[in-house]
Structure 1
Amino acid sequence: MLLDTASLYFRAFFGVPESVKAPDGTPVNAVRGLLDFIARLVADHSPGHLVACMDADWRPQWRVELIPSYKSHRVADEPAAGAGGEGAAEQVPDTLAPQVPVIEAVLDAIGVARLGVPGYEADDVIGTLAVAAAGPVAIVTGDRDLFQLVDDARGVRVLYPRKGVGDCDVIDEEAIASRYGVRAGQYADFAALRGDPSDGLPGVKGIGEKTAAELVTRYGDLAGVRAAAADPLSRLTAARRRTITEAAAYLDVAPKVVRVADDVPLPRFDAALPSEPADPRALAWLAERWGLGGSLARLLDALAKAAG
């Protein structure tokens, strides 16, 4: 099981009231919410291995160099301590940013593998792990970009939370075809054509989700769509050929930005589910300092049962 950790702690932050606080009055709603999420996921799915994937760099420079608008609207005016990333800081709610280091410390003390690699997003770590995995993989994320990794033949699926993580849509190849009208292997090309305002990706002017799906389905992939646009005898209208041709500079680089990297150099790690805390003394201190109470107890119980 691969966790898109930031996606989940943002969801926890907005889903759990800020009235959930540490003894000193500091909000710990994201911390406790994430622990409860992981406990539920482990209890429901009993994974043999678990990795909390992190954004060591939420807006990698190599992606920005290709498309300068990439996530530019999410850059904070001032650095946000604990928000992660190597370059500009991401806009993170003031009461969430201080909780991120706590989340990291608690996961480390429990012994849950936590992986982030400088220069890469959590998506890229997930992509690398999913491609290398010998057995089935469940990716837990609220980010549709990771739908491109779905592969029924290899047992790679996405658990896409609707409300809490106990209510997830299981995204397999049939679900992608039903939702978007494309195959999982076409999803990245479809997304590049469509664009994504939430990531600062403009897409091709006049091409929305429906048209992008029709084009990718008809011509197979983005290269096929571009070849059709260059062919005056293709079924594309002159106006459509023109808009695609005029977007050449964007389409030259968009696939590399949109596609999840699968060759991230990962450090050594142990993804085995911990049956007991890796650092009991540190965890006890963290539990008392931050008032983690039942949330931590539920996660430790779920891990012990699944690992046993």
Structure 2
Amino acid sequence: MSNTNKVLLVDGMALLFRAYFANSYGGYIRKTASGVPTNAVYGFMKYFLDAVDRFGPTHVVCCWDLGSKTFRTDKYDGYKANRPEAPADLIPQFSLIKEVVASFNVPNVGYEGFEADDCIGTLAGRFSQEMDVYVLTGDHDMLQLVSERVKVVIMKKGQSNYAVYDPELLLQEKQLTTAQFIDLKGLIGDTSDNYPGVKGIGEKTAIKLLAEYGSIDGILDNLSSLPKGVRSKIEADMEMLHLCRDLARIRCDAPVECNVHASVWDADRHSVIAKFEELEFKGLMKLIG
């Protein structure tokens, strides 16, 4: 394949939730004449079309979480247990957005027991053997996927505002390599995913330890030379440290089926227009040319 090929892997839920909250201010929820809520789908499409326009992919795939039970919840009951229920008027939009994505001939990919992150990690590994990969998300956990051929595009506040991470930017901005990013989560946990890390170790200490010893394994090999307070915190929470590192690691071996040919960006304008008309998305028509 030529070097001009690039795939955009879209973190569906990250975009949909972001779009829902950006398009429900003041309590106003966009609905069709028949009362179907569409604010999240509308916002998702604006983000999606903007990213396609900006990054010019030749291939596009959209990845989704399927239910809340995964191998991570099997390992740790508390995993994501702090998440509130989805708002009532977002729930019908979960299936609706997949219909809209499918109208663009873009594959919707997910696998029971795995998160969208794992599907993205798996496909990023697979596709990067033959093309450049751009991962579109708002989730900083994805930064562990960054490599020479995989860029992670973090959506920031405001339209068309992206931070595009490659290994150099990651090191410059976070002082971490991709592998160290996983170990950081093992040490400090993740409040949004509700796992604790090592009690009493904050980000500053963790980054300092990783800079000095390279990894969690390096830190554990040098426990005796750590300050007493830090050492006793790690020793007291050793089991949790290993569990949290495991929870943080994106699996790149999910059994997802999606080949290169199925993901070619080749939207059928007629099916997209029909879907947009059905959902009364007049304002988006001009974005599809």
Q: Report what 1:50 is aligned to.
A: 60
- Give the number of aligned pairs: 275
Q: Hey, what does 2:39 align to over in structure 1?
A: 29
CA distance in 1, matches of 2:41, 2:195: 31
User: What corresponds to 2:12 in structure 1?
Assistant: 5
Matches of 1:189 and 1:298, distance apart in 2:
45
State the alpha-carbon separation in 1 of the partners of residues 280 and 124 from structure 2: 35
> Structure 1 CA distance, aligned partners of 2:14 and 2:214?
31
Q: Secondary structure at the match of 1:197?
A: coil
Q: What amino acid maps onto 1:175 in structure 2?
A: L
**Quick one: which amino acid aligns to residue 28 of structure 1?**
T
* 1:119-152 CA distance string (max 9 Å, x none): 111000010011112221111111111000111x
- Written as runs of structure 1 = structure 2, the 5 A alignment for 1:95-110 is 95-110=89-104
Superimposed CA distance per residue, residues 3-54 of structure 1 (whole angstroms, 9 cap, x where no aligned partner): 1110001111111244422112333111111111111111111101101111
Query: 8 Å contact 2:12–2:62 — kept in the other structure?
Result: yes
Helix, strand or coil: the match of 1:188? helix
* Contact 1:23/1:289 (<8 A) preserved: no
Correspondent of 1:125 among 103, 106, 119: 119
> In structure 1, what is the Cα distance between the partners aligned to 2:43 and 2:53?
15
- Which stretches in structure 2 are left out of the alignment for 5+ residues? 1-7
User: What's the secondary structure of 1:117's corresponding residue?
Assistant: coil
Contact map agreement 2:156 2:162 (CA 8 A) in 1: yes
Residue type matched to 2:268 in 1?
A: E
Does the 8 Å contact 1:37/1:164 carry over to 2?
A: no
Shift of residue 287, structure 1, vs aligned partner = 3.2
Structure-1 separation of matches of 2:114 and 2:163: 27
The match for 2:195 is: 201
Shift of 1:112: 1.0
Instruction: Tell me, yes or no, if structure 1 residue 159 matches structure 2 residue 148.
Output: no
| Change in 2 beyond 3 A, CA 1:165/1:256 | farther
Q: Which residue of 2 is the match for residue 224 of structure 1?
A: 218
Measured in 2, the distance between the counterparts of 1:114 and 1:128 equals 15
Gaps of 5+ in 1: 77-90, 302-308
1:173 aligns with 2:162: no
Give the TM-score, by structure 2 length. Answer: 0.89
Output the CA distance in 2 between the equivalents of 1:173 and 1:57: 32
Would you say 1:40 and 2:32 are equivalent positions? no
Instruction: Give yes or no for contact 1:150–1:184 (8 Å, CA) kept in 2.
Output: yes
SS at match of 1:244: helix
SS of 1:198's equivalent?
coil
Q: Which whole-Å CA distance do the structure 1 matches of 2:109 and 2:93 have between them? A: 18
User: 1:165 Cα deviation (Å)?
Assistant: 5.0
The corresponding residue for 2:145 is 149
> Structure 2: how far apart are the matches of 1:289 and 1:275?
17
2:134 partner letter = A
The reply on whether 1:271 has 2:263 as its aligned counterpart is yes
Q: Among all aligned residue pairs of Structure 1 and Structure 2, give the percentage whose two residues are the same amino acid.
A: 33
Give me the whole-angstrom Cα distance separating, in 2, the residues matched to 1:210 and 1:58: 32
1:83 corresponds to = none
What does the per-residue CA deviation read over 1:151-171, in whole Å, with 9 as the maximum and x for residues that have no partner? Answer: 1x2x21111111245111112
Q: 1:266 to 1:161 in 2, by over 3 A?
A: same
C-alpha RMSD over aligned residues: 1.9
Residue 63 (structure 1) aligns with: 72
